[in-house]
Amino acid sequence: MSTKLPERTETKAAEARHMPGRESADRKQVTQGRWAYTLLTPTLILLAVVIIYPVVNAIIMSFQKDAGLNPATGFFEEGGPAGFDNYAHWLFQQCNGAACPPGTLGAQFWNSFGTTFFFTAVTVAFETVLGFWMAVIMARSFRGRSAVRAAVLVPWAIPTAVTAKLWFFIFAFDGIANKLFGTQILWTGSEWPAKWAIIIADVWKTTPFMALLILAGLQLIPDEVYEAAKVDGASSWQRFTQITLPLVKPALMVAVLFRVLDALRMFDLPYIMTQGANNTSTLSILVVDQIRQGFNSAAALSTITFLVIFIVAFIFVRFLGANAVGAATSSGRK
C-alpha cells in the first residue's frame, strides 16, 4: 500500500513551507531559542562552578592519600595516589590493611549508615502521616484557618540549631520531659532514648514542611469531584481512598522525596543533641569528624554519601512516581 500523499495535499504542504509568514515564524523561533541559550549560559556556568566543580574535586581527592607520618622513613609525607584504599577503609572497615580497631572512625561506618537510614525511615513515616492529617485539616474551610496555617509553620521556621538546643533542654535529666511524665530517663545518655529524642525533635520541626507540600496538592483537587462522589453515594473513606489519595499522590511523593533526601543528610540535630554519641552518629557527622583527621578520606566518605543519596533519589523518581516535572509535562501534552 502506497504511503505517498495525494498530489493536491503535497502541493499545499509545499506552499505552506514556502509561505513568507512561515519563514518569518521559523526565524523568530530560532532567534528566541538562541536568546534563551544566551540567557541561560551564565546560570549554567554558575551552577557548574558551585555544584559540579566541588563534586568532581571531591572525587579526585578521594583517590589521594592523606598526609601523615611514614612509619618506614619516620618523615611526614604529603601522600600520593591511594587507588581505592580510602573507599576500602570505609566500606570494608580496613585500617592499614587490617580491620579497624573498635572505636575508630573507620569501624563506625556501617553503624552510622544504619543509623542514618533508621532516622530517615522512622522520621519520614511519622512526618508523612502527621503532615497528611494536618494538611487535610488545613484544607477545610473554618474560622481562623489562616491563623492555624501560620501557627503550624512556626516549628519549621525556627532554625534547626535552635530547635536542637530547645529539645536538648526538654530531654535533660531534670528537664520538662522527665518532670511531665515522672520519669528519670537519661534521654541523651543512652542509645535508644537518645535516638527517640532525636526522632521526636525532627518530627516536631519538619512535619509542617510535609503538611505544606501536601496541602498544595490537596488544593488542586476540584470540589466538583467530591460533590459528584457524594451524589453517587460514596462514603468518606471511599472518597479518601478513591479520590484524595490518587489525586494527591504526585505532590505526596515529591514531598516524601524532598524529606528523604534531607533526612539522609541529617547533621545538626543529632550533633547538637548528642554529639553523635550512643550510636546516634549519622554519615554527615562521620564526615565532619573525619575532616579533622584527613581531607582525602573524608572526601571518599562524602562521595559514598553522595552516591547513596543519588541512588535513593533515582529510585524515587524512576520507580515511585516522584517525577513532578515529568508528570506535569505528560499531563500538559494530553
In the chain, the amino acid numbered 251 is A
The residue among 254 and 98 whose pLDDT is bigger is: 254
**Most confident by average pLDDT, 120-124, 157-161, 208-212, 330-334:** 120-124
182's grid cell = 515522672
The residue among 2 and 241 whose pLDDT is bigger is: 241
Evaluate if residue 9 carries a pLDDT over 50.
no
Q: What are phi and psi of 68, to 5 degrees?
A: -175, 180
**Cβ partners under 8 Å of residue 278, min gap 6:** 188, 189, 190, 191, 194, 195
In tens, the pLDDT along 196-239 reads: 999 999 999 999 999 999 999 998 888 888 888 888 888 888 88
pLDDT score of 281: 94
- Counting residues of the chain whose pLDDT is more than 70, the rounded percentage is 85
Q: Rounded to whole angstroms, how far apart are CA atoms 91 and 181?
A: 42
By the 8 A CB rule, do 321 and 249 touch? yes
Q: Give the range among 77-91, 100-114, 126-140, 319-333 with minimum mean pLDDT.
A: 319-333
In tens, the pLDDT along 172-198 reads: 999 999 999 898 999 988 899 999 999
In the chain, the amino acid numbered 177 is A
Q: Rounded to whole angstroms, how far apart are CA atoms 255 and 232?
A: 32
**Beta strand 94-95 pairing with 76-77:** unpaired
Question: Which residue, among 135, 122, 147, has the nearest Cα to 270 in the 3D structure?
Answer: 122
**pTM of this prediction exceeds 0.85:** no
Neighbours of 100 (CB within 10 A): 18
Q: Coil, strand, or helix at residue 94? A: strand
Q: Grid coordinates 584527613 are at which residue?
A: 294
Q: Rounded to whole angstroms, how far apart are CA atoms 176 and 183?
A: 10
